[in-house]
A and B are shown apart, each in its own frame.
Chain A
């Protein structure tokens, strides 16, 4: 990394993040860092707090304590403009969460118009460009219910991209898909990564992590147990818990 990569230049900087649900401490002091243009994959067993960490980054969950900086802005500051911040961070859910009462095209334009105040023509143009990018130009007028899971997830990615986000968060984007549909979605994500998009990806796709990630983070029990290059974390894990987890999933 170059000398200019000071803290302010980081895309996401999480410091001493704690999150409780009631008495249940789900995140136990997370320090976490993503540089601009980096792809970071978060892996770990179920219930380890991966989704919670991801959702804290765009404040879908309110952190109990700690600091989160996005592009140098402290989003955990009570005065931060959360809506403006969220518009800069794309998010893709396991369950797609497309708006079922709107066509694919409307799914992609509605927030552009209502949040970014773009005109209908511009929003439509941006939407069509992103549909093209995910290979679904012909589905613009379809309703989500008429698409396969893989197509829905690619629309969801295109919807997030239509907001021209600075970074993208993915929460197990392929876990709800039939195995034969996973490849299409991963291909779109690889394209995004090669274009230099900053990405934080919670995933069980170890192949994707190995191939695309700049860094792999292994979480267990609400802490980051191990992080580093994919080859190191996945190929030569140092911690017993990482080894145990990988031996189960690989």
Chain B
């Protein structure tokens, strides 16, 4: 086109066009819902997913056994993972070369492996290799702890590095030893920063705790997923899965809310 050509006037202002795009999106959404509602067999769905008799029969075991075990497995794994993550983070920041290499190796190894593989290796491999039978609780604690700890180590390291160097120096200047300065001054500040990502990790571990099924569980060791599967198979019905899904959400949604609160708070503090 030559320079003399008149630029054609746009037919629609950018704002109007954005509004139109939005309406189209809403319309598509409504259409989708209507189509789904029309083609779905609601009676069948209710029978398969929302059978109240089957749901009722799951209580109280789904709470006092399954939910309880999920919480115990997650809590043990998280506690071990947090301790391990802290140690690995401090090792990564150490001035001693071998400490750094070892912790980097462990972190990369367990971040790189699927959690399922870690469960398998710990659950079956350890007993084969050493001839000792670890309890399922020990295995799940170790497995979740190793997987979670590897992630948390990097988070904690970043948190420690986010504390200004002057804080550590001021503490040392007052005569505190390295460990005293870390424990009293640096780590409390680091943990404030990393509380949201650590809580996210807790949510992930809650879900990963379902992998414990691979170890073969006795009835009183069932956690939510194993319990749900068992009941689903026994009843040839999906209602138990809906129940346990709600139980998972009972744990994870409050945690998500906590994370969002914490993030909002630390966002304000800055």
Contact = CB atoms under 8 A, between A and B. Distances in A.
Contacts of A60: 169, 172-173
B170 A114 contact: no
B179 to A, nearest CB: 11
Contacts of B180: 114-115
* Chain A contact patch, size range: 20 to 34
Given A60-B169, A93-B170, A95-B166, A101 B189 contact: yes
B177 interface: yes
Nearest to B167: A97
Interface in A143-187: 145, 156, 159-160, 163
A147 B122 CA distance: 53
Interface stretch (A3-11, A15-23, A80-88, A121-129): A80-88
Contact of B169 (A89, A90, A97, A114): A97
A140 interface: no
A114 B170 CA distance: 14
A99 interface: yes
Interface string B164-183: 10110111111111001000
A111 interface: yes
Q: Which of B167, B175, B185, B192 has the most CB of A within 10 A?
A: B175
B184 interface: yes
B251 to A, nearest CB: 29
Interface in A93-108: 93, 95, 97-101
B125 interface: no
* Chain B contact patch, size range: 10 to 19
B177 to A, nearest CB: 5
Contacts of B184: 110, 114
B188 interface: yes
A115 B176 contact: yes
A91 B176 contact: no
Given A87-B175, A111-B175, A115-B175, 12 more contacts: A86-B174, A88-B175, A89-B173, A91-B170, A91-B173, A97-B169, A99-B185, A101-B189, A110-B174, A111-B171, A160-B173, A163-B175
25 contacts: A58-B173, A60-B169, A60-B172, A83-B175, A83-B176, A83-B177, A84-B175, A86-B173, A87-B175, A88-B175, A91-B170, A91-B173, A93-B169, A97-B166, A97-B167, A97-B169, A97-B170, A99-B171, A111-B174, A111-B176, A114-B184, A115-B174, A115-B176, A160-B174, A163-B174
Interface of B: 164, 166-167, 169-177, 180, 184-185, 188-189, 192, 269
